[in-house]
Structure 1
Amino acid sequence: MATKRMFTLNSGSALPALGLGTWQSGPNEVYEAVLTALKTGYRHIDTAYVYGNEAEVGKAIKDSGISREDIFLTTKLWCTFHNNPEKNLDISLKLLGTDYVDLYLVHWPIAFNPKGNDALFPSLPDGSRDRMSNWDVTKTWELVQKLPGTGKVKAIGVSNCSTVTLEKLLNAPTTTIVPAVNQVELHPYLPQTKLLDYCKAKGIHVTAYSPLGSTNAPLQQESAIQTIAKRLGKTPAQVLISWAISRGTSVIPKSVTAERIISNFEDFVVDDADMAAIDSISSHTTKRVVNPNWGEVVFHDD
């Protein structure tokens, strides 16, 4: 289908089903990756302030010659700016070389001390993470809700939020905007069906990150994935990406290899039998790839 599929967010924005993820893409390689993706046909680019590559992502978008209005650009609020999200947004906009982003996400529902010993990852003397006391994601969201009114963001959302966190956020008296997106780790080893069903019921679109599992992950070697790929003449990555989209989630596989970026852009509709075969993988193997120790529980749904 070469990703002609789109999802409509509760904000009214149209989100391309397949985008390019840029987490762990270094400054010297992400420029070429984004440029290749845009020339291939991608129109959804995902980055974040903490990735340290927004300047290169923005330069690639500008150098691609593609109109900014035709690109869906996502970036994220970092944990040391929870008490001043507009400040972090302005820094990101300057780095990206644009006056707005299409989607701005709260990267983690954890607030770090903005006056700590490190600008990104402040720590306490015992080595634990230095978090803001008497602060939670509902206060962050109260501030983030002001951003659409500035014209600097088209839609707002969250990332790495469980059903427990979302319930707390949605029930807060200060919440007036339902997050447009919840970006979370999703793949056959971690299908998160409960979270997916919850978000669907609340009108929150889900974007899947790390859809191929970890780098060199055994997920692509699973017999079900291999069998489907060989029968259909697809790559294992194409099968996993198409499974994710067929579940109703957008997906942002990361790659800096031109051949893989191009290949990943060939999604297809997965039939019910193959969907069931892929769904069954989690019955024998479950694995979360991204699980940092922030000093408090983030993932409640495992």
Structure 2
Amino acid sequence: MENKISTKEVMISMLSILVLVVSQTVANLIGSIAYVTAIPDWIGNIAFGIVYVLLTYFLLKILCIKLLKSFLENYGMGKPKLKLVWLISAVLLPAIVSVVLLCMPGELISNSVSLSQGMSIVTAALFYYGIGAGVVEEMVFRGIIMHTLESRWNKVVAILIPSMAFGLLHLIGKEMNFISILLLFVAGISVGILFSLITYESGSVWCSAIIHGVWNCIMIGGILNIGPTYDSEAIFSYILKSKSIIITGGDFGIETSIVSVFGYIIFALLAFYLWKRNQYTSQNKHYI
């Protein structure tokens, strides 16, 4: 019985990741129409984000109803519940990390981009990296996978396993040296734990999705690129003079920088504190 249950959990986790891959592929095909027609690129970016999120939500709903015999509400994907502390944190986390990095020695270069290029970059940041990747990854990892593992084991396992898988997933298609891989694994687990704790504290995936989306939009969206090399495709490029792989994040980039990791940990501690405080308050109300 134990093996059967374990096999079921693995199957559901793999199916939810397959949903992500299928939805991303379909969204890319629809979004790429703009590149082979006269449709502006920015419309393709918007189409990608909308299709990616809606298709993923629809397929996960089918997975829940048909295989899990449940509803998305039981997997943190019910009516959006937003909390002010996480709306503020969504801006503070990337802002603090960016300011710290911008205070380090470097050179800021403003690239000359046309209006159409600017719109393409901004819409890609908002809809491709922000709404698309940010929301979908939270629905899959902190929605289906985390809650499925919790029902089989406990919250500790439910937090750690998806966080490790989240880090490993970002290794796919990347050629990196050992130190860069290690940094990515540490950063991936740290940010995965952050998103998981926020999901548990807030009661849904939507707060973690907002933080994930805003982070992606600001840090990797292409509006401002911070790194050791010049980025001609960003609107602004800040070239760090530091050659330390710990500071620059190595082959993966600034998301695995020690500065970013510290940011993940600080806000994860905040989420853990608020989560435990909520539990303590609920227990006290129960005994009154």
Q: Structure 2 length as normaliser, TM-score?
A: 0.26
Question: Which structure has more RCO (C-alpha within 8 Å, separation ≥ 6)?
Answer: 2
Q: Structure 1 length as normaliser, TM-score?
A: 0.25
Structure 1 or 2: larger helix share? 2
Structure 1 or 2: larger strand share? 1
- Point out the structure with max Rg over C-alpha: 2
